[in-house]
Amino acid sequence: MSELTTIARPYAKAAFEYAVEAGAVDAWQEMLVFAAEVSKNETITSFLSGGASVEQAQDLFIKVCDEQLNTHGQNFIKVMAENERLLVLPHVVTEFTLLKAEYDKEITVDVTSAVELTADQQANISAALEKRLARKVKLNCVVDASVVSGLVIKAGDMVIDGSVRGKLDRLATTMQS
């Protein structure tokens, strides 16, 4: 998995940098998502894995994607086909999406609570996190009864454990020390 990410990252970065220059980040994301879905198709995957020539792979892929790719998107697909990397397109999309989120100053935050959060609670959490992280926050709320009470918030590498379960675990660790 990490090998595929390593392969995909330069392609995603190049596409993203071009998209930013062209002012077409959303359009590029749409093109890449469509192309990635095409690359996941069983028939396409077996064709590409079956030793098709570069020209055949390019032609097939561009014909299948047709109007979903502009000229620059087609050129991007041609470069990936020349390097036999079309099957890595889903990972390119993942990396491109991460770059876009960083560019847009957005972050997805996982919030785990013991009970369903109300709209007001979600708005308050979102506002507080936006202020703390200096980014637009998108909440991904999950209910987990094992939390007991409180919240566990995960934003990238940052974890805020304000749950009763977390406090009990820290207390147990302290008492054992």
Q: Walk along the chain (177 residues) and give the pLDDT tens digit of each residue.
A: 568 778 888 989 999 999 989 888 889 999 989 988 888 888 888 887 777 777 888 888 888 887 888 888 888 888 888 888 888 889 999 999 989 888 888 888 999 998 898 999 999 999 999 898 888 888 999 998 888 788 899 987 888 888 888 888 888 889 997
Q: pTM above the 0.75 mark?
A: no
| Boundaries of every domain in the chain | 2-102, 105-176
Fold of 2-102: Peroxidase; domain 1 (1.10.520)
Q: Are 76 and 15 in contact (CB under 8 A)?
A: yes
Phi-psi region of 55 (alpha: psi -120 to 50; beta: other; left: phi over 0): alpha
